[in-house]
């Protein structure tokens, strides 16, 4: 029934998250409320870390893709589990550094990093910058020259792989705003150029083929393609790049329609393919990096709402309106994403009817989902939407001037606020 080990039902028939009664959490902290289970986040970090140790003999590093959920406490937790972080803006970089993540364990991304962001990244000593275009590479070289530093870079490559996922989150194909194409020789050209720059350390190659992927094949293919590129460059120039970053993208369970691969199985399968690809091409096994986001935090998160309105449209549908919506979870309006919901105050009851769960924004498309099976709903029920740990809080907005919810972290039956609920004062803070 559940998408996550963090969830259960107690003797009151209430949903529990990390051992905490969800109805009590809603009462204590108010709704809407993001709840994130620390134990689950830590367990996911450990699975990745242990897999690197097991399948790559510890020669690798896992960067948590902080775009999935970025705040101080989450970064502190992933740091304490030995992961680094992937940051994609000055704001994420600032948050990671402020949370105490060592700069050398950061990997900086972005298809249009500003000059100021590059100065900030180089100046703070980030371990790797993933270069997305030539202007950026030359700018990094110039900044380093001025600062008397050298910067390690990786090159974001479009491996030409079609991962079957939503077109908005598919990034490995040639028609993508990210990275250098292989087919056109663009990727080879930029690496050859980088090798001529004095202040650039050519670390290796990177690709990220998309997100919420449930198949192994595209990941295996991507690793082979990147090994091919390392070999090509070695054959042409004699320089063997020592690092490979395979990005993120491992899918998680939102509903029963999802059949996720276990990460350790994925890492093992890719490692086998990579080893033989390297052997065949006469290159050493590179230092391997990964950037999981969704699979670290996704299923560890639940959003709690209070049902405030029920509207029946005869022979059409029943709307159940909650006190949040697209402001705290824009994934339905963006991607028609599917979620599993249940009533936290009667979580073991049988779902009898499909309802449309609507948010409270002035947009007809502001839905959490359509055809969501729930037991008979009553006003005041606590609705729990599962698997909201990734890309909910991080993509939240203040549309309709709605304050963003608080985030509470649970652990073994205890709870604590890790992000305060926004106040009216927060809403007008920057208004003049």
Determine, following the binding rule CB under 6 A, whether residue 109 of this chain makes contact with ligand LLP.
Answer: yes
Q: Could you give the residue numbers annotated as active site?
A: 362
Number of residues this chain uses to bind ligand LLP (CB under 6 A): 21
Selected binder of ligand LLP within 204, 247, 260, 286 (CB under 6 A) = 247
Closer residue to ligand LLP (CB): 141 or 291: 291
43 exposure class (CB count in 10 Å sphere: 0-12, 13-18, 19+): middle
| Least distance in angstroms from the C-beta of 363 to ligand LLP | 18
Nearer to ligand LLP, 241 or 307 (CB): 241
Between 177 and 311, whose beta carbon lies closer to ligand LLP? 177
Residue among 167 and 315 whose Cβ is closer to ligand LLP: 167
Nearer to ligand LLP, 23 or 241 (CB): 241
389 near ligand LLP, rule: CB under 6 A: no
Contact positions with ligand LLP (CB under 6 A) in 279-308: 291-295
Question: What is the smallest separation between the CB atom of 13 and ligand LLP, expressed in angstroms?
Answer: 31
State how far the Cα of 368 lies from the Cα of 362, in Å rounded to an integer.
Answer: 14
User: Minimal distance in Å, beta carbon 11 to ligand LLP?
Assistant: 35
Q: Which of 432, 92, 86, 52 is nearest to 274 (CA)?
A: 52
Give 287's strand partners: 243
| Residue whose CB is less far from ligand LLP, 158 or 360 | 158
If binding is defined by CB under 6 A, does position 347 make contact with ligand LLP? no
338 contacts ligand LLP (rule: CB under 6 A) = no
Residue 218 touches ligand LLP, criterion: CB under 6 A: no
Single out the residue of 248, 286, 301, 405 in contact with ligand LLP (rule: CB under 6 A).
248
Smallest gap from residue 390 Cβ to ligand LLP (A): 6
- 65 binds ligand LLP per the rule CB under 6 A: yes
Residue 376 and residue 351: Cα distance in Å, rounded? 7
CB of 176 to ligand LLP, least distance (A): 10
Nearer to ligand LLP, 247 or 325 (CB): 247
186 binds ligand LLP (CB under 6 A): no
The answer to the question of residue 203 lying near ligand LLP (CB under 6 A) is no
Cβ partners under 8 Å of residue 222, min gap 6: 159, 161, 172, 207, 209, 246, 247
Q: Is residue 331 part of the contact set for ligand LLP (CB under 6 A)?
A: yes
Q: Which of residues 81-100 bind ligand LLP (CB under 6 A)?
A: 86
Residue nearest to ligand LLP (CB): 248
249 belongs to the binding site for ligand LLP (CB under 6 A): yes
Integer Cα distance of 60 and 55 in angstroms: 10
By CB under 6 A, the residues from 4 to 63 that bind ligand LLP are: none
Q: At what angle do helices 90-98 and 72-80 cross, to 10 degrees?
A: 60
Which residue's CB is nearer to ligand LLP, number 110 or number 346?
110
Question: Which stretch in 140-148, 245-253, 357-365, 372-380 sits in contact with ligand LLP by CB under 6 A?
Answer: 245-253
If one asks whether residue 405 binds ligand LLP (CB under 6 A), the answer comes out as no
Q: Which residues bind ligand LLP (CB under 6 A)?
A: 65, 67-68, 86, 109, 169, 208, 211-212, 247-250, 291-295, 331, 390-391
């Amino acid at each position: 029934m559940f998408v996550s080990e963090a969830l259960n039902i107690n003797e009151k028939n209430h949903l529990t998250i990390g051992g905490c009664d969800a109805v009590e959490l809603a009462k204590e902290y108010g709704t809407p409320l993001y709840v994130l289970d620390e134990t689950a986040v830590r367990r996911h970090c450990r699975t990745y870390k242990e897999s690197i140790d097991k399948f790559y003999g510890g020669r690798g590093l896992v960067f948590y893709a902080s775009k999935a959920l970025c705040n101080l406490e989450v970064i502190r937790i992933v740091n304490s589990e030995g992961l680094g972080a992937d940051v994609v803006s000055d704001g994420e970089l600032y948050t990671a550094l402020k949370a105490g993540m060592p700069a050398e364990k950061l990997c900086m991304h972005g298809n249009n990093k500003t000059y100021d962001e590059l100065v900030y990244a180089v100046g703070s000593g980030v371990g790797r910058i993933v270069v997305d275009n030539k202007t950026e590479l030359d700018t990094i070289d110039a900044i380093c020259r001025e600062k008397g530093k050298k910067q390690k870079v990786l090159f974001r490559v479009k491996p030409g792989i079609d991962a079957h996922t939503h077109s908005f989150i598919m990034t490995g194909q040639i028609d993508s705003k990210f990275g250098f194409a292989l087919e056109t020789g663009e990727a080879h050209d930029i690496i050859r150029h980088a090798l001529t720059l004095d202040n650039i350390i050519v670390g290796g190659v990177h690709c990220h083929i998309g997100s919420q992927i449930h198949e192994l094949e595209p990941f295996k293919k991507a690793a082979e393609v990147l090994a091919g590129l390392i070999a090509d460059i070695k054959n042409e120039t004699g320089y063997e790049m020592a690092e490979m970053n395979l990005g993120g993208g491992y899918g998680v369970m939102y509903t029963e329609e999802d059949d996720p691969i276990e990460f350790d199985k994925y890492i093992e399968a890719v490692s086998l393919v990579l080893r033989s690809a390297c052997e065949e091409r006469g290159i050493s096994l590179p230092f391997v990096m990964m950037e999981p986001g969704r699979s670290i935090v996704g299923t560890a998160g639940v959003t709690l709402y209070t049902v405030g309105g029920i509207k029946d449209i005869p022979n059409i549908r029943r709307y159940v309106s909650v006190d949040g919506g697209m402001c705290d979870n824009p994934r339905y309006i963006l991607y028609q994403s599917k979620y599993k919901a249940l009533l936290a105050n009667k979580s073991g009851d049988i779902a009898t009817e499909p309802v449309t769960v609507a948010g409270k924004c002035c947009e007809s498309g502001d839905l959490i989902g359509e055809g969501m099976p729930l037991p008979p709903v009553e006003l005041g029920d606590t609705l729990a939407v599962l698997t909201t740990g990734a890309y909910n809080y991080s993509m939240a907005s203040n549309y309709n001037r709605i304050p963003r919810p608080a985030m509470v972290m649970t652990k073994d039956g205890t709870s604590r606020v890790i992000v305060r609920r926004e106040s009216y004062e927060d809403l007008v803070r920057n208004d003049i």
